[in-house]
Amino acid sequence: MLRLLCALAVLSCQPLYQAKRSYAVYSQPESYFTSAISADEKTILANDSYPIYLELRTDKSFHYNLPRLGEGEGIWNYNSEGYIQLYAIRTLFVMKMDIRSKDPENPQSLALEFSDRFGPKFLTLEFRRNESK
C-alpha cells in the first residue's frame, strides 16, 4: 500500500514542462498582457469547459472562481521569461498557474497552464466583461 501511495505521489507531481502543449507559446514583454489586467474590475479571463474564471487586478492580486472548488484570492507577477505567474494558497493545496501568449500578434490569445490532481491542463482563455460589478 505504501508503494502505491508513493508511486501516485511521484506521478501526480509531473512538471508542466514535460507535458505536451497543442499550441506554441511566445515570450512577451509585460506590456503585452495589459488587456488581461482589469483596471475597472470588469475584465474576466474565462474557460467554461474546465470551468475557471480569473480577474487580474492592477495591484498584482487576482480573484478566481472555480465553480467546483469555490472562490479565492491570490497574487500574480510577470516572469522575466515572458509570461504571467499566478499563485494562491487554498486550504488543501497551493495553486500555481501560468498565463502564456499563444499568438505574438494578438494579446487576447492567451492560455492558462497548470497541473491539477489529474495532470497538466492547457486551457484557452476567453476575454469577457463582467457587467455585474
pLDDT at 53: 97
Segments forming the whole domain that contains residue 37: 2-129
Q: How many domains, the chain?
A: 1
pLDDT, mean of each 10-residue run, the chain (133 residues): 49 57 95 92 93 96 94 97 97 94 96 94 94 60
CATH number at residue 44: 2.40.128
The whole-number pLDDT of residue 7 equals 46
Q: Is the pTM of this model over 0.85?
A: no
Question: What is the C-alpha to C-alpha distance for residues 102 and 38, in angstroms, rounded to an integer?
Answer: 20
User: What pLDDT, on the 0 to 100 scale, is given for residue 8?
Assistant: 42
How much helix, strand and coil, in percent to the nearest 5, is found in the chain?
15, 45, 35
